[in-house]
Structure 1
Amino acid sequence: MSEYILRTDELTKTYKNYKAVNKVNITVKKGDIYGFIGQNGAGKSTMLRLVTGLGFPDSGKIEIFGADTAKELNDAQKRMGAIIEQPALFLNMTAEQNLEVHRLQKGIPGKQCITDTLKLVELENTGNKKVKNFSLGMKQRLGLAVALLGDPEFLILDEPTNGLDPIGIVELRELIQKLNREKNLTVLISSHILSELYQLATTYGIIHEGRLIEELSLQELDEKCRQHLKIKVDDHEKGVTVLERKLNTTDFEITPDGSINLYSHLENVRIVSAALTESGLIIEHLSQNGDSLESYFSKLVGGSSHE
């Protein structure tokens, strides 16, 4: 069985003269929580609509569970659950009645799945309360329950925390992590709340103006954003020796431009500077660097909007 749940190849979707999705190649591995990051209008929702079959690409290829023909993709999409834009809920029905409608639409046998799913999203005690009287957080959890009917292997969520208060965001995050951990559910989630994605995702794809500009793991992101002293001296090889012998550290790396990123001694800049200069080195640059996910994203796309 392929380790990849989703792969796209040069996926493109054009509206009039605007390429909403422009030759995008993403890879979502089994067990990932894949955080899809982009500004408003970057192409996130269009991309997710193409993957779920709610839209059709102009060119390129989609592969889900190893399937890539039209018929195979249709069958593969039945193994998915999704919330794209707002959940489709019947406001004058109860939570149980809502799930019963969707169960019948999906052709899922037996009603036990309704009980199990409501319990999973902690809505099992809502009884006869109509959805129109639910809080926004409860509605979001019910929408998630609809997506989880049929026990999907792959879950796609488009901005699921929109409008939620901080408690609702935490509850949703913990539920997604629980599903990923206990059911090995693979999740593709888009959000403009980057700090929230940082606490949730294991892999990231950053899209800008329809193009995927970077795809990286949480570990790779942490390395890029890790706080460090950026040191540029006239002889970086000698500089490395000084760090090892005088400061007793190997927690650094040499960058392609010959700079040294020192991850220790962040609070002892003067000691670092003195050790280098006393060894006869000329310090050309010394500064403390490191990004949050928000600032790293802004540097990549050249702006400050995170929506």
Structure 2
Amino acid sequence: MEIILENAGKKFSTEWILRRVDLRLTTGNGYAFVGANGSGKSTLIKLIMGQLPVNEGLITYRRDAALIHVDDWHRYLVMAAPYLELIEEFTLLEFVAFQSRFKPFKGALSVEEFIDFAQLSHAAGKLIRHFSSGMKQRLKLAVAFQTDVPLVFLDEPTSNLDHNGIRWYQENVLRLMDTGQLVVVGSNQPEEYTFCKSLVKMADYKR
């Protein structure tokens, strides 16, 4: 898997958020988009995911040298972020069963095994709308860790997690590299991206 950004830029109204972004992201590597709040980390992630269009430049997706159409791109990725919406009318059991049909889990993980992995067995029959913010974030991360796709986006991944949740995140995010996935983290917290060998500084794209 390869993502190529060439002179990519994004503006809202007349304000440029990012300009002249030239990046090449490849499978098996971890990338951290770093910078202060409001520096454009989430915007760059959304551009790469195809959730936002670029105002200039080009983003190209390839797998085994073949081009991937932007309309098919969503099939290859998963994301966890505190602002990501969950289906709150579902119980945890219902949500996980739905998610596993939408995109399969690694190793044919069962619904029950997934819930155990997320350390949410005590809430299996609970409506997600009644989850705490930390439980919701743990669920989002568990989906990102266990979904069988080549690309994983993690934006502010430890938001709302307690000490045990942060340790759980740090243990499991390392395993993504072992599976050869391409991992992108948007963060200003070094403990969230220590495994990333490539740092992409948002300040470089403010010119």
Task: Please report the TM-score for the alignment, with normalisation by the length of structure 2.
Answer: 0.81
Aligned counterpart for 2:26 among listed residues 10, 26, 29: 29
**Which residue of 1 is the match for residue 197 of structure 2?**
202
| Contact residue 161 and residue 172 of structure 1 kept, 8 A | yes
Q: Where do 5+ consecutive residues of structure 1 fail to align?
A: 214-307
Aligned counterpart for 2:36 among listed residues 7, 30, 39: 39
Aligned counterpart for 2:154 among listed residues 135, 157, 163: 157
**Which residue of 2 is the match for residue 75 of structure 1?**
72
Q: Where do 5+ consecutive residues of structure 2 fail to align?
A: none
Residue 123 to residue 131, structure 1, CA distance change in 2 (3 Å): same
**Which residue of 1 is the match for residue 185 of structure 2?**
189
Equivalent residue pairs, number = 203
| Contact residue 145 and residue 176 of structure 2 kept, 8 A | no
Residue 75 to residue 148, structure 1, CA distance change in 2 (3 Å): farther
Q: Distance in 2 between matches of 1:199 and 1:36?
A: 12
Q: Distance in 1 between matches of 2:110 and 2:56?
A: 39
Aligned counterpart for 2:205 among listed residues 198, 206, 211: 211
Aligned-residue identity in percent: 25
Matched residue type, 1:187: V
Give the RMSD, CA atoms, in angstroms: 2.9
Q: Distance in 1 between matches of 2:103 and 2:26?
A: 28
Rg larger in structure = 1
After TM superposition, the structure 1 = structure 2 runs for residues 224-243 of structure 1, keeping only pairs within 5 Å, are: none
Deviations 1:166-218 (A, max 9, x none): 3322211211112322x222210111212x1453322211112x7079xxxxx
Q: Distance in 1 between matches of 2:122 and 2:28?
A: 30
Matched residue type, 2:150: E
Residue 8 to residue 68, structure 1, CA distance change in 2 (3 Å): farther
Q: Distance in 2 between matches of 1:51 and 1:61?
A: 10
| Contact residue 45 and residue 84 of structure 1 kept, 8 A | no
